[in-house]
Structure 1
Amino acid sequence: MPDGGELIIMGFIRGAVGVKGWVKIGSHTEYLDSLLDYPTWYLIKDQQRVEAVLETGKVLNNKELQVKFEDCDTRDQAEAWQGYTIAVPRADFVETEEGEYYWTDLIGMSVINHEQVVLGSVHSLLQTGAHDVLVVRGEHGEKLIPFVEAFVGEVDMNAKTIQVEWGLDY
């Protein structure tokens, strides 16, 4: 892994496709083709971690991502990758626009309401279609807070805090 940076899990290899070394991907990204932005992936399974370089990739019918790695030219070689987790270095992520955040950066941040009560920390996020939802867990139980301007104020990446308009009794 480059420079000891953090690897972020982005998906997994579902299996082989065809006979020329292609694999189909289960992606954890918002857009299927987002993984194609990263030319080098780290494939992880059990205690093994292998660097794989993308040769090419495509999205079929807006439903399935398929890729071919360099030096993977047969179905047998492709089948060997099934079950591997796909990770990329966090340092390789593209900078976000103002007010946009990668979910991985929000997880673990402290959530503090307008009364300066710590509601807990971000455990995960949910995608509902209308908007994303923060899943916050702490001593006050679990809170589901819509990640919209009406409820979420300042997100301080340096202090690792999110200010929210959310009461304890919500």
Structure 2
Amino acid sequence: MKFFEIGEIVKSHGLKGRMKAKSYVENGEDLSSVHEAMIVKGKEEPRGYKVRKIVLHKTYFFLELETIDTVESADSLVGSTVLIPEDDRAALSGDEYYWRDLMGLQVVTEEGRFLGRIESIFPTGSNDVYVCAGGSREILLPAISDVILKIDLDKKEMVVRLLPGL
């Protein structure tokens, strides 16, 4: 089974083992289907836990795990990475992608000119913006169909059309 990182535990929250974690998932991603998690602290072996509850809130999430029911046991996991099974990701429509799948994609123009790689993504009111860096300059690419022509996750490539001003 494949797992992916969704965050890092930053502190305990309350007295009953609840934890607050910095989120690596985009705001609004549905985590309600998550039933198990792997917790990795430093170079220790990953440990599996049943998830009682996970609630995403802006740039962090609250996590409740079975067997973690005291502030001391929660504090012992501070600094740990939280991973969940790939199968627990919510299904997306054909033209939607998880941010983590876009990170690092090579960006080329429709003529084949290399522009860089997706370094980060940030939401705006109407669409996300992809930050492409590593080429001759940093380019901000709005995630709209006029600019993003094709995304090929197998080839790890994004084909774009640069509009005037980009």
1:123 is displaced (CA, Å) by: 2.1
**Which structure's residues are more often helix, by fraction?**
1
SS at match of 2:126: coil
1:145 is displaced (CA, Å) by: 0.9
Residue 163 (structure 1) aligns with: 159
1:43–1:50 contact (8 Å) kept in structure 2:
yes
Residue 11 (structure 2) aligns with: 15
Q: Which stretches in structure 1 are left out of the alignment for 5+ residues?
A: none
Q: 2:50 aligns with which of 39, 53, 64?
A: 53
1:101 is displaced (CA, Å) by: 0.3
Residue 62 (structure 2) aligns with: 66
Q: Which stretches in structure 2 are left out of the alignment for 5+ residues?
A: none
Whole-Å separation in 1 of the counterparts to 2:60 and 2:157: 36
Question: What CA RMSD, in Å, does the superposition of the two structures yield over aligned residues?
Answer: 2.7
Identical columns (%): 25
Residue 81 (structure 2) aligns with: 85
**Superposition TM-score, scaled by structure 1 size:** 0.80
Residue 24 (structure 1) aligns with: 20
**Equivalent AA in structure 1 for residue 152 of structure 2:** D
Cα deviation code 1:81-114 (max 9, x no counterpart): 2221212233442332011001111122221213
Whole-Å separation in 1 of the counterparts to 2:59 and 2:163: 40
State how many pairs are aligned: 165
